[in-house]
Structure 1
Amino acid sequence: MMDAGLKTWAEIVRIVYPDLTILRDRTQWLAGNFDTPSVFIETDLVSDRVITPRANRIVEDVGLVFHFDKERIAEEDDGEPIPFDLTPFFMFLRQRKYLYASKRFGVALIMEPPRNRPEKDRVEVTFRYSYLLSVPKIPVPKINEFHIGYEGKELNP
């Protein structure tokens, strides 16, 4: 369940951009085997602290790389990137005050404000966020029989 953050980010992107291709496989992304426009999502664990016996606080960094589409209207424009409008994405997060509760994956992301790094053919957006992850309770078998021993002999209670 440690990939709950990654799945929740994919859910957010799917809500804001329903037709956008989402990449999660790093080797496929590094090889360039994807269609544009698309977004590559990668999370990195920063810390995992025990808060209660039944919950851990997970702090992660996420990187979202939005790849622009290539313009193909005229021959001279072939290969020129079409800038991607990230306003709906940031508006979605601001309206929720950088808090998003996923009913599907059972986590609530608490985000810090993003950092953007525009490139020629893409925009890289990074966040630090945290969420509580419930730890399943391990059943402990009950002891119903007691045996007492004294000087090598077993005594019956």
Structure 2
Amino acid sequence: MMDAGLKAWAEIVRHVYPDLTILRDRTQWLAGNFDTPSVFIETDLVSDKVHTPRADRIVEDVGLVFHFDKERVTEEDEGEPIPFDLTPLFTYLRQQRFCYPSKRFGVALVIEPPRTRPEKDRIEVTFRYSYLLSVPKAPVPKINEFHIGYGKELNP
């Protein structure tokens, strides 16, 4: 269940940009086997600490790489990238107060402010976020019989 953060980010992007293609496979992304506009999502574990006996606090970084569509209106503009508008994403996160509860995956992301890096044909947005991951309780065997005796052998 360590990919709960990745799935929750895909859920956020799907909510804000319902028609955008979401890529999660790094080899496909590096090979360039995708259509534009699209977004590549990748998470990286920063720390995993015990928060309580039943929960761990996971801190991760997420990178969202939004690839621009290519404009093909006239011959002069052919191949020129159309800048991607990130205002809806940032507005949605502000409305959520940078805390996104995913009902589908059972985690609540606490998100720090983003860092953006514009490129010619894409914009990269990185966030650091944390969430609590429930740790299943280990079953303890129940003792149903007690035998008390000293110095003699017991026969059940």
Whole-angstrom CA distance in 1 between matches of 2:116 and 2:107:
25
Q: What letter is aligned with 1:145?
A: E
Give the alignment of 1:125-144 within 5 angstroms. Answer: 125-144=125-144
8 Å contact from structure 1 (residues 147, 154) kept in 2: no
1:71 alignment partner in structure 2: 71
| Aligned counterpart, 2:112 | 112
Query: Aligned AA for 1:63?
Result: G
User: How many matched pairs?
Assistant: 156
Query: Aligned equivalents of 1:156 and 1:82: distance in 2?
Result: 83
The residue number in structure 1 matching 2:11 is: 11
CA RMSD of aligned residues (A): 1.6
1:17-96 aligned within 5 A: 17-96=17-96
Q: What is the percent sequence identity of the aligned residues?
A: 86
Runs ≥4 in structure 1, deviation > 2 angstroms?
A: 145-151, 153-157
Looking at structure 1, the residues matched to 120 and 148 of structure 2 have their Cα atoms a distance apart, in angstroms, of: 77
TM-score (norm 1): 0.94
Tell me, what secondary structure is at the counterpart of 1:117?
Answer: strand
SS at match of 2:137: coil
List gaps (5 residues or longer) in structure 1. none
Whole-angstrom distance in 2 between the partners of 1:150 and 1:136: 39
Partner SS state of residue 8, structure 1: helix
CA distance in 2 between counterparts of 1:59 and 1:149 reads: 53
Q: Give me the whole-angstrom Cα distance separating, in 2, the residues matched to 1:66 and 1:149.
A: 73
